[in-house]
Homo-oligomer: A and B are copies of this chain.
């Protein structure tokens, strides 16, 4: 089934205890699309400015990512982010953030994308996510990401969005903040009461928890990594693997959702093994499937 993503395209500078990569390609929609394209064709919606040094058509060549929704704004500048990871590689400090095009009007969803069935609204202001979603005619399954600043300052917009989507994918600190509750299982249940039917809480190296409004729970550890080079994009890659697998199967029953979480976990494990997109672009579906089987072996009893 068709899969649409809306989100950022970024020029990232990433500093880790192990090294630095300057001005590399990043952004939620980029990581998501690269990850999801292992499973399903992807319809891409995002904006760059005239300073963007990357040829996205070349980067996604052969990967079944339709860039009809990529908008170039000649008078604008591309989103830029500089961050440095702490020793634990889970926490990071944003050193520099230039929203640039992300502070402007959102992109338009092209006419030929409006019949999209699966939709991922990557992190941005919930009012914009709402507006973007409104451009899709009859979505079957909509997932969204959000972050602390929207929870703190745009809670009404976020609550309105939660009633319109099927799944919220957030990290553990955001879940605790949104639910105002420390215990993650209780947080998940409180978020479900806000209207979304499903919540996936990402816990970094401790894996993820998925709760549904039907009372189902799924908990999966992260794939064990003994060499994390750059965690940037792990969450968006997770979402890409998750949504890509759902779009591939066309199903959203809980058993399928469990496997989707496992694929998200595996795809993210490739992302963090190298800087920028290098971990994703150097693997393939066969490797991903092999690692899914490994993940099954080390978690099943």
Contacts and interface: CB of A to CB of B under 8 A. Distances in A.
Interface of A: 87-88, 182-186, 189, 203, 205-207, 209, 217-221, 224-226, 228, 255, 258-259, 261-262, 296, 298-301
Contacts of A87: 182
Given A182-B87, A182-B88, A206-B203, A301 B224 contact: no
Contacts of A205: 184
A158 to B, nearest CB: 23
B219 A219 contact: no
A248 to B, nearest CB: 16
Contacts of A185: 224-226
A226 B261 contact: no
Q: How many copies of the shown chain assemble into the complex? A: 2
9 contacts: A87-B182, A88-B182, A185-B226, A206-B207, A218-B298, A219-B298, A262-B301, A299-B300, A300-B300
A221 B300 CA distance: 11
Given A183-B226, A183-B228, A220-B299, 9 more contacts: A186-B226, A189-B226, A207-B221, A209-B224, A219-B224, A220-B301, A255-B301, A259-B301, A261-B301
A260 to B, nearest CB: 9
Nearest to A208: B221
**10 nearest A-B pairs in the assembled complex, by CB-CB distance:** A219-B221, A258-B301, A206-B206, A185-B226, A185-B224, A217-B298, A186-B226, A262-B301, A259-B301, A300-B300
Nearest to A265: B301
Contacts of A228: 183
